[in-house]
Amino acid sequence: MPVFQRKPVLVPIDYSAASVKAVRLARSIAGADSDVTAIYVAQDYDLTLHPLTWTGGPLPNYREERLLQGLRDWVREHDLGDIRLAVQKGDPGTQVCDFAEKMGSRLIVVPSHGRQGLKRLLLGSVAERIIRHCHCSVLVTHPVKENDAHPMPLDWFPGKRVIVPIDFSDASSLAIETALEVARNRDQIEVVSIVPSLNPDDLADTGIVSDEDRVNSCRNYMSRYLTDHGYGSLQTYASVGDPGTKIVEHASDVCADLIVMPTHGRHGIARWVLGSTTERVLRHSETPVLVLRAATGKSDN
């Protein structure tokens, strides 16, 4: 049985080119159109009907049907197959998470537009809210640039270069197992550990005299960890610095096709493997990021 449960797949869309690519990728991941659902969430300001204004409660039938028809037309126009369709109203992050749990989604594919700041991710900070609160794994795609020598093809990831940042927890093992499933062979996987920078006073308290010693110690620990877990042949990379920044830089340097980030399923900042590292990677990486959640079947919110 696969470690990474990837279907059914939910794709929040905003009718952009990035949304088209995300749906096509989701179809490839799922392998069957019936396992893919595209969802459009109409926000409050979208639900103003002259001379009437939506004021809460169930979405009016005629309005829901109008939104569904628009979604059907968009799917047909872009030849996106016989996927399932859904429309909701309200806050996109909340509605996507609620719908994903109701449908038993194992993966959400979130398109992004490559913008800066809050507009960088689909519908502002929606992708970050989805990752914080959803019970399932989330794949955040990134747009393919015209001059990109290593574009992400619209298929699933066998044969691609995958990097896996770890913190030596059980969640790290899950991330490595997932990478082994989506990469064609072990030579295309690199396990990454970043040692956070310390000021000179803190470094002196450790009894280690230099960052180089800290990196060497990390490499040795990584080697033992991977050997003990049966991953001894995997490539490794260790460095000192801000983990989020270093992960993004290294992914770019090695032309990675995917970053697999493990999570622990906790609340708040402790929910993520490296504190705010996942958030920083998502905001700045030009590489698609797969944020894993263990398949519990229920949200832990």
pLDDT given for residue 33 in this prediction: 95
End-to-end CA distance of the chain: 27
pLDDT digits (tens, 9 = 90+) for 136-153: 999 998 765 555 554 555
Nearest to 103 by CA among 301, 297, 292: 297
Neighbours of 67 (CB within 10 A): 21
In this structure, whether the domain defined by 157-301 belongs to CATH 3.40.50.620 is answered with yes
Overall size of the chain counted in residues: 301
What amino acid occupies position 242?
D
Scan for tokens 């628009």, then name that residue.
70
Largest separation between any pair of C-alpha atoms in the chain: 72
Spatial distance between the Cα atoms of 67 and 73, rounded to a whole number of angstroms: 10
Q: Per-residue pLDDT averaged across 250-278, rounded?
A: 69
Pairing of strands 52-53, 48-49: antiparallel
Angle at 272 between CA 271 and CA 277, to 5 degrees: 145
The pLDDT-based confidence of 296 (bands split at 50, 70, 90) is: very low
- What is the model's pLDDT at position 198? 75
At 3-12, the pLDDT tens digits run 788 889 999 9
Residues 6 or more apart whose CB falls under 8 angstroms from that of 198 comprise: 206, 214
- Return the domain boundaries, the chain: 1-46+61-154, 157-301
Q: Is the pLDDT of residue 263 over 90?
A: no
- Tell the residue number behind the tokens 């126009």, with chain if given: 77
Say what the pLDDT of residue 182 is.
86
Question: What is the reported pLDDT for 48?
Answer: 47
Q: At what angle do helices 126-133 and 92-103 cross, to 10 degrees?
A: 40
Q: Identify the pLDDT of residue 270.
A: 41
Model confidence at 80, pLDDT cuts 50, 70, 90, reads: very high
Owner of token pair 């990677």: 281
Is residue 152 a contact partner of residue 286, using CB atoms and an 8 Å limit?
no
Report pLDDT for 84.
97
Q: Cβ distance 166 to 177 under 8 Å?
A: no
pLDDT (tens digit, 9 = 90+) per residue, 208-232? 668 888 899 999 999 999 999 999 8
What is the average pLDDT score of the chain? 79
Task: Find out if CATH 3.40.50.620 is the number for domain 1-46+61-154.
Answer: yes
Short-list 201, 199, 170, 190, CA closest to 263: 170
pLDDT for 148: 53
Write a three-state SS string for the chain: CCCCCCCCEEEECCCCHHHHHHHHHHHHHHCCHHHEEEEEEECHHHHEECCEECCCCCCCHHHHHHHHHHHHHHHHHCCCCCCEEEEEECCHHHHHHHHHHHHCCCEEEECECCCCHHHHECCECHHHHHHHHCCCEEEECCCCCCCCCCCCCCCCCCCCCEEEECCCCHHHHHHHHHHHHHCCCHHHEEEEEEECCCCHHHHHHHCCCCHHHHHHHHHHHHHHHHHHCCCCCCEEEEEECCHHHHHHHHHHHCCCCEEEECECCCCHHHHECCCCHHHHHHHHCCCCEEECCCCCCCCCC
pLDDT in tens, 180-190: 988 878 899 99
